[in-house]
């Protein structure tokens, strides 16, 4: 499982001021950074990937779309990501779902359109499930880009060699080299155990709204067969899968960005 994509530093789309909200309590209290683009209509919310942030290529491209369409857009950084507080190695998937729930409640509480990339696809589905369980409104539609539901189990733990599993179990952390960043990132035992508790693909996944998935078939991090497994768990009605045969994990080429924006435009 890879870092979702590089950060676009100095982007002209990021002149928006940061709004901070407090999430958690006690030792888990942290400040979450949010950028809000004002507009008319249902808000669109960007949920980024593992080790990515709201200044990355697809996020800022979506902000440009919102500007041109006059649509409200909410972007935020998870705990330990980008401009938010907290330590990445101390966070787990449940932490990032808590962040997403807080952002949705504060800034997009009424049937938003959710756009989740990579790990953000899993966070999206977990957050929607929790909101529906609470009796709150679900989204109007969802766009998932290389969705990595259950990635800590299916794409990490199941793929790790025995020596890596042993290191995680005994030391509590393993540092994974990545081509997406200059330093390795920590895979903690807490992350793996929390991911196990949050698995979704062992049963039906019903967000109660249309879902459109974009998936590259040349994706080394989230194989397209994983997208098929996700589609199999989603309702038949309202679920669409678009495969990009030469697309990689990032799906950040100009033609990929264009497809993402056209898909969000249709769903929104």
Say what the pLDDT of residue 208 is.
97
Say what the pLDDT of residue 12 is.
42
CA distance 22 to 84: 10
The reply to whether 3 falls in a domain is no
The reply to whether 123 falls in a domain is yes
Say what the pLDDT of residue 5 is.
53
Per-residue pLDDT of 29-88, as tens digits, reads 999 999 999 999 999 999 999 999 999 999 999 999 999 999 999 999 999 999 999 999
C-alpha 268: how far from chain center: 18
Number of neighbouring beta carbons within 10 Å of residue 88: 17
Q: Please, which pLDDT band fits residue 182 given cuts at 50, 70 and 90?
A: confident
CATH code at position 125: 3.40.50.1820
Per-residue pLDDT of 113-162, as tens digits, reads 999 999 999 999 999 999 999 999 999 999 999 999 999 999 999 999 99
The reply to whether 4 falls in a domain is no
The reply to whether 11 falls in a domain is no
Number of neighbouring beta carbons within 10 Å of residue 254: 8
Contacts of 186 (CB under 8 A, 6+ apart): 88, 89, 173, 174, 175, 176
The sheet that has 211-216: what strands, in order across it?
19-23, 30-37, 73-76, 44-47, 113-117, 141-145, 211-216, 239-244
Q: What angle do CA 115, 104, 44 make, to 5 degrees?
A: 35
Say what the pLDDT of residue 191 is.
98
Q: Please, which pLDDT band fits residue 255 given cuts at 50, 70 and 90?
A: very high
Say what the pLDDT of residue 97 is.
98
Per-residue pLDDT of 54-67, as tens digits, reads 999 999 999 999 99
Strands (E), the chain: 19-23, 30-37, 44-47, 73-76, 113-117, 141-145, 173-176, 185-188, 211-216, 239-244
The reply to whether 143 falls in a domain is yes
The reply to whether 5 falls in a domain is no
Say what the pLDDT of residue 11 is.
40
CA distance 160 to 174: 11
**In this predicted structure, which of 15-19, 92-96, 226-230 has the lowest mean pLDDT?**
15-19
**In this predicted structure, which of 168-172, 173-177, 210-214, 237-241 has the lowest mean pLDDT?**
173-177
pLDDT at 8 over 80: no
CA distance 103 to 131: 12
Say what the pLDDT of residue 6 is.
46
Mean pLDDT score of the chain:
94
Say what the pLDDT of residue 4 is.
56
Q: What range defines the domain where residue 104 resides?
A: 16-267
The reply to whether 239 falls in a domain is yes
Q: How many domains does the chain have?
A: 1
The reply to whether 47 falls in a domain is yes
Name the CA dihedral angle for 149, 151, 154, 159, rounded to a multiple of 10 degrees: 160
CA distance 123 to 185: 19
Whether residue 211 contacts residue 241, with contact meaning beta carbons closer than 8 Å, is answered with no
In degrees and rounded to multiples of 5, residue 8 shows phi and psi of -95, 85
């Amino acid at each position: 499982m890879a870092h979702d994509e590089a950060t676009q530093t100095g982007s002209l789309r990021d002149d928006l001021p940061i709004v901070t909200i407090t999430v958690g309590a006690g030792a888990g209290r942290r400040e979450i950074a949010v950028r809000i683009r004002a507009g008319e209509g249902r808000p669109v919310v960007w949920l980024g990937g593992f080790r990515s942030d709201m200044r990355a290529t697809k996020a800022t491209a979506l902000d440009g779309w919102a500007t041109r369409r006059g649509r409200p857009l909410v972007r935020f950084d998870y705990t330990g990501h980008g401009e938010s507080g907290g330590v990445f190695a101390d966070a787990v998937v449940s932490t990032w779902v808590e962040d997403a729930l807080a952002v949705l409640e504060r800034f997009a509480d009424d049937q938003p359109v959710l756009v989740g990339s990579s790990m953000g696809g899993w966070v999206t589905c977990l957050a929607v499930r929790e909101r529906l369980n609470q009796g709150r409104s679900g989204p109007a539609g969802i766009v998932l880009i290389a969705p990595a539901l259950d990635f800590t189990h299916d794409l990490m733990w199941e793929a790790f060699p025995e020596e890596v599993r042993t290191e995680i179990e005994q030391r509590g952390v393993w540092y994974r080299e990545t081509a997406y960043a200059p330093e390795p990132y920590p895979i903690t035992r807490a992350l793996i155990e929390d991911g196990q508790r949050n698995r979704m693909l062992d049963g039906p996944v019903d967000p109660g709204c249309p879902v459109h998935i974009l998936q590259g078939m040349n994706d080394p991090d989230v194989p397209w067969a994983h997208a098929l497994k996700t589609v199999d768990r989603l309702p038949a009605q309202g679920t669409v899968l678009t495969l990009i045969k030469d697309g990689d994990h990032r799906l950040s080429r100009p033609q990929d960005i264009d497809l993402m924006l056209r898909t969000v435009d249709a769903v929104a």
